[in-house]
Amino acid sequence: MDYENIILQQENKRLNRLLTHYSGRHLLQLGEHTLLSLTVSPIVHKIRISNTSLSVNIASFPHIVLQSTYMQLPFASESIDLVLLPHTLERNKDAKRVLSESWRVLAPNGHLILLGINPFSLWGLYRLFTFTKKPVWDGCFYTIQTLCQWIHCLGGEICHTESFLFRPPLTSRMGPWLFDKLFFLEKISPWLVPYLGGIYLIIAQKHVRRPSKLGFAWHFPPLLTNKALAPNVREVHYE
Q: What is the CATH number of the domain that holds 24?
A: 3.40.50.150
pLDDT at 84 (0 to 100)? 97
Asked if residue 239 is part of any domain, the answer here is no
Q: Answer yes or no: are the C-beta atoms of 80 and 174 closer than 8 Å.
A: no
Query: 190 lies in a domain?
Result: yes
* Residue 230 confidence (pLDDT): 42
What is the pLDDT, as a whole number, of residue 239? 43
CA neighbours within 13 Å on the CB side: how many for 159?
A: 17
How many structural domains does the chain have? 1
Domain that holds residue 50: 3-206
Residue 220 has what pLDDT?
40
Dihedral angle computed from the Cα positions of residues 92, 96, 97 and 101, in that order, rounded to the nearest 10 degrees: 110
Which pLDDT belongs to residue 53?
A: 67
Rounded to two decimals, what is the model's pTM? Answer: 0.82
Residue 106 domain flag = yes
> What does the alpha-carbon distance between residue 107 and residue 26 come to, in Å, rounded to a whole number?
10
In a domain, 200, yes or no: yes
- Chunked into runs of 10 residues, the chain (239 residues) has average pLDDT values of 84 94 95 88 93 60 82 94 95 93 96 95 79 63 94 95 92 78 92 93 86 45 40 44
Contact 82, 105 (CB under 8 A): no
Return phi, psi of residue 29, to 5°.
-115, 130
Residue 221 lies in a domain: no
What per-residue confidence (pLDDT) applies to 80? 96
Residue 116 domain-assigned? Answer: yes
Question: Within a domain: residue 99?
Answer: yes
Looking at residue 151, what is its pLDDT? 96
The C-alpha atoms of residue 204 and residue 198 are separated, in whole angstroms, by 20
pLDDT value at residue 91: 87
> What is the enclosing helix (H) or strand (E) of 154?
none
Report pLDDT for 65. Answer: 87
